[in-house]
Amino acid sequence: MEAREFSQARHELGKTQNQIARLLCVSPKAVQSFEQEWRKVPASVERQLMFLLYLKNASGDIVSPCWETKDCPGEWRKECAAWEFRAGNLCWFINGTNCRGMQSDCWQNKLETCRQCEVFQSVLPPQVYRPF
């Protein structure tokens, strides 16, 4: 996550640096360092921030689970954590998902794939998480 994205996400949530620090269980100095690009945003902080954005922007509309949207075959579903936990709208949040028949080896690679996905794009605000 880039500094610009972190800052935009914080503004989307309507939080000050101190407020977002409390929500993310980090110090206000850490938030400042993320936004000034002095420190890289850790994956755990990025995931929590994304989850808060998801909760804030959830419309309540019933959205098809990822395995239906992506038309995943049964053998892929059996190996997918999103399928196992019936979290088809949170596939982007859960490590161990099986997107396009492959599991990502790390959070950064997973998120790179997710940014291109219509499921991810349908549940997170595009002004914060644009596909690259």
Please tell me the predicted confidence (pLDDT) of residue 57: 78
Residue 132 lies in a domain: no
Per-residue pLDDT, 60: 63
**Domain interval for residue 93:** 66-123
pLDDT score at 125: 67
Q: What are the φ and ψ backbone dihedral angles of 102, each rounded to 5 degrees?
A: -135, 145
For the segment 11-25, what is each residue's pLDDT rounded down to a tens digit? 999 999 999 999 999
Q: How does pLDDT run across 43-94, given as a tens digit for each residue?
A: 899 999 989 988 887 766 667 888 898 888 988 888 888 889 998 888 888 8
Q: Tell me how many domains the chain contains.
A: 2
Handedness of CA 6, 10, 12, 13 (dihedral sign): positive
Is 70 found in the same domain as 52? Answer: no
Instruction: Please indicate, yes or no, if residue 47 is contained in any of the structural domains.
Output: yes
Query: How far is the CA of 57 from the CAs of 27, 38, 46, 72, 87, in angstroms?
Result: 25, 29, 16, 26, 17
Q: Which residue carries 């994956």 as its tokens?
A: 43
Instruction: Say if 128 falls within a structural domain.
Output: no
DSSP 1: -
**Do 74 and 100 fall within a single domain?**
yes
| pLDDT reported for residue 113 | 83
